[in-house]
Amino acid sequence: MEKLKYFFIKNKMKIIIALIIFICAIAISIGIFVQITDRDVINKEDEVQADYEDLKNNFDSIFTNSINIESSARQDINYEEIVYCKYNINEEKDNYKINAKIPYFNIDNINSEYINKNISELFSSKIIEIVNNSTLNTTFDLNYVVYVNNNIISLVINCKYKEGKNAQRQIIQTYNYDLEKNKVLNIDDILQYKNLSKEEVQTKISDEISKKVSETQAISQQGYNVYTRNENDDMYKVENTTNFFLGKNNYLYIVYAYGNNAFTSITDLVII
């Protein structure tokens, strides 16, 4: 014990210096780790933001009339027998031009019948009306895309419709079908599947629409005509969301296609 005490007394200064060096080394290591971690977080946030902007900017290009089977989907199912193009219409006359690939849900139950009936009422009937009654120069272009994530099939239809001198409309309709439960999914089902709360989704919707309102106000002040959004409209409430789908990499798209009810091709996307 005396020898140990003598050792500490004799080497006191060396021990203190060693402790200082050790503490400094730990502090430097922590600083480097924090910097690397922060940089990784920033890089990841930048990557997510870049991916988000890329998905928004390339939205129109996804409509290739094809099925995209994500890695999470069952690989033993022939999805092309479940959703496929039933009618491929290419017709051009003096007063109209139609290019439409109309999809069909080939599942024998009441829920898939609802989807097919809705597609027919919204799009097929409009084509018949154009062919039989159109007196204005009309263009009707319809394409779709299908994504399969886990057991959920998402069908998204994109229709660009212009009649006479009216502005072109972009009409987008979505359908989400759970193969396992044999049901059409609503927004609550999708939020539960994605493990998302209404509060966080509402915040993302509100932020995106508020951003769009600010952008259009700035453009309007320069004298340009812009589509006016009312960010307090109930349509932006999560519980009123009807147009949504699961896309590439299981991203949730919430779609506000204003052309569904107005003569405009403006569409806002919230991607989560």
Domain residue spans in the chain?
2-56, 62-271
pLDDT at residue number 54: 81
pLDDT at residue number 37: 46
Q: Give residues with Cβ within 8 angstroms of 68, minimum separation 6.
A: 145, 146, 147, 148, 248
Q: Running along the chain, 272 residues long, what does each successive block of 10 average in pLDDT? A: 50 59 59 50 43 81 96 93 96 95 94 94 96 92 97 97 95 97 96 96 97 91 86 96 96 97 95 95
pLDDT at residue number 13: 61
Given a contact cutoff of 8 angstroms between Cβ atoms, the answer to whether 236 and 254 are in contact is no
Beta bridge partner(s), residue 26: none
pLDDT at residue number 57: 86
Q: What is the pTM (predicted TM-score) of this model? A: 0.80
pLDDT at residue number 32: 55
pLDDT at residue number 41: 37
Q: Give residues with Cβ within 8 angstroms of 123, minimum separation 6.
A: 100, 102, 142, 157, 159, 173
Given a contact cutoff of 8 angstroms between Cβ atoms, the answer to whether 101 and 143 are in contact is yes
Fold of the CATH domain 62-271: Heat Shock Protein 90 (3.30.565)
CA distance 222 to 201: 32
